[in-house]
Chain A
Amino acid sequence: MPQNTDTQLMREVQSGETEKLGVLFEKHNKALYNYFLKQTGSQPVSQDLVQDVFYRILKYRHTYRGKGEFRTWMFSIAHHVRIDHYRKHKHKSDTLDIETDVVDSSPDPEETANQQDSIALLHKALLKLSVEKREILLLKNFHHFKYKQIAQITKSSLPAVKTKACRALKELTDEFNKLAEVS
């Protein structure tokens, strides 16, 4: 069980072996980076936010009880970091204005041109969603969390998460098709 190893490592960090956080960093920094990048659309911002997550993990290491998965706990910190970021930059719009960083990421040569178009459309459609809905869908479909874990991460109830995820997918599909018609 990989999660057990994470929990074990986090316990060691708690008991003073802070260097073990390096192992957790190596394992999870990419996922966190993509979590922020797909929401903020900015590489420098995402880099800062990843750093902030690991800083908070160290600072609040004793609040991890080891009952739930480490990954879920880590994303709940990331969720807070994300909220704080948007709070600080409230003057900027809720949705992104910088999208180039996400869309222009090295396309897989194996992908057909058609599929690349679809991915670009998906990025655009995602930007039309509210931050909250976008986050839930990404947690569900990109990071493959269950509703229950998403409820823990976003500090809301399981039925609320489920309802929001379903509405988000419906909305996203409508936006996607609208954009597809235009292009």
Chain B
Amino acid sequence: MLCIQVKKMLPEYVLGEMDDKNYGQIKQHLDHCENCRLAYNKLFKVSALFDKLPENEPDTIVKIRFYKMLTHFSATALQKRQQKFNFAIGNLWARRFVPQMAVAVISLFLGFLAGYTFSTNGETKKQFLVLQDQVDQMKQMVGISMLQQTSASERLRGVSYSRSIQQPDQTLLQTLLTALNTDPNVNVRLAVVDALYSFHNEPNIREQLVQSLSQQTSPLLQIALIDLLVDIREKKSLEALRTLISNQTVSDVVRQKAQWGIQQLL
């Protein structure tokens, strides 16, 4: 190979990914030609310097902004899904939402009955109350069965359905709490946090929410729970918040949030 050819190919040789044949020929040439070796050394020195370029550490603000964006995005996605659900009822009620429709029909009937009852005697009123109780039970059962579906979107529907129940019984609340701690889908868990907000005055819920904060590992959930606990001013969460702050494996953003939570609660 001529020097002029070699020199032309030197950058490619230095940058790597050259085919074996050319590589071998140039290597051989460099062993013998001082002039070309000089040119090679210059290119190599600059090329190798890239490995010495410092890797700069981004500021924590990058992380905080990212998780803020992610939380916002997940919340919006959840809302959209729920809107889709409302729309879907119109199409699918006959096949999939018979129980809900039954509840709706009975409720409607109850409405009529109520109007009627106020103007009549105690016996009818008693029957009315029995009937209302049965409707409530049925609603709870629908909610629970939806929460136990294998598809995450079904479970999401179950959560939003459960929110509409005025007086949840222990079984429904327990199903929601189990979902909060064990549901594999983070969107479902986030929706449960929202739903439990409406039920935070039911017995044991506050304690369970505090307990859940120590169990969650997803930053999204941790942040949502901290927000909720601060909102309902649950001072019993202070210890859990302190534990989060001292745990080095917990994300910085969450630890900052926990710090904020403590300031709010004190």
Do A and B assemble together? Answer: yes
Which stretch from B28-36, B51-59, B206-214, B234-242 is at the chain A interface? B51-59
In the complex, A158 Cα to B157 Cα: how many Å? 49
**A30 contacts B58, CB within 8 Å?**
yes
CB distance from B167 to the nearest CB of A (A): 32
Chain B contact residues: over half helix, strand or loop, or mixed? helix
**B219 contacts A22, CB within 8 Å?**
yes
Q: Which of B1-29 contact A (CB under 8 A)?
A: 11-12, 14-15, 17
In the complex, A165 Cα to B15 Cα: how many Å? 8
Task: State whether the Cβ of A141 lies closer than 8 Å to any Cβ in chain B.
Answer: yes
Q: Which of B34-59 contact A (CB under 8 A)?
A: 42-43, 46-47, 49-59
**B17 contacts A34, CB within 8 Å?**
no
Chain A contact residues: over half helix, strand or loop, or mixed? helix
**A16 contacts B77, CB within 8 Å?**
yes
Query: Chain B residues with Cβ under 8 A from A181's Cβ?
Result: none
Q: A54-B66, A147-B17 given as contacts; is B54 within 8 A of A107 (CB)?
A: yes
**B14 contacts A142, CB within 8 Å?**
no
Query: Chain A residues with Cβ under 8 A from B59's Cβ?
Result: 43, 47
Task: State whether the Cβ of A5 lies closer than 8 Å to any Cβ in chain B.
Answer: no
Task: State whether the Cβ of A37 lies closer than 8 Å to any Cβ in chain B.
Answer: yes
CB distance from B64 to the nearest CB of A (A): 10
Task: State whether the Cβ of B186 lies closer than 8 Å to any Cβ in chain A.
Answer: yes
Which stretch from B67-75, B105-113, B116-124 is at the chain A interface? B67-75
**B15 contacts A17, CB within 8 Å?**
no
Chain B residue with Cβ nearest A121: B49
The interface size of chain B toward A, counting residues with CB under 8 Å, comes to 39
Task: State whether the Cβ of B244 lies closer than 8 Å to any Cβ in chain A.
Answer: no
In the complex, A30 Cα to B57 Cα: how many Å? 6
Q: Which of A7-63 contact B (CB under 8 A)?
A: 16-19, 21-22, 25, 29-30, 33-34, 37-38, 43, 46-47, 50-51, 54-55, 58
Selected from A18, A33, A108, A111, the residue in CB contact (under 8 A) with B56 is A33
Residue-wise, chain A 120-143 has the 8 Å CB interface mask toward B (1 for contact) of 001101000000000001101110
Q: Which of B208-225 contact A (CB under 8 A)?
A: 218-220
**B53 contacts A119, CB within 8 Å?**
yes
Query: Chain B residues with Cβ under 8 A from A141's Cβ?
Result: 15, 47, 50-51
Query: Chain B residues with Cβ under 8 A from A147's Cβ?
Result: 17
CB distance from A20 to the nearest CB of B (A): 8
Query: Chain B residues with Cβ under 8 A from A37's Cβ?
Result: 56
Chain A residue with Cβ nearest B77: A18
Task: State whether the Cβ of A170 lies closer than 8 Å to any Cβ in chain B.
Answer: yes
**B50 contacts A22, CB within 8 Å?**
no
A-B pairs, top 4 by smallest CB distance, nearest first, are A141-B50, A166-B11, A33-B58, A169-B11
Chain A residues at the B interface, C-beta cutoff of 8 Å: 16-19, 21-22, 25, 29-30, 33-34, 37-38, 43, 46-47, 50-51, 54-55, 58, 102, 105-108, 111, 115, 118-119, 122-123, 125, 137-138, 140-142, 146-147, 162, 165-167, 169-170, 172-173, 176-177
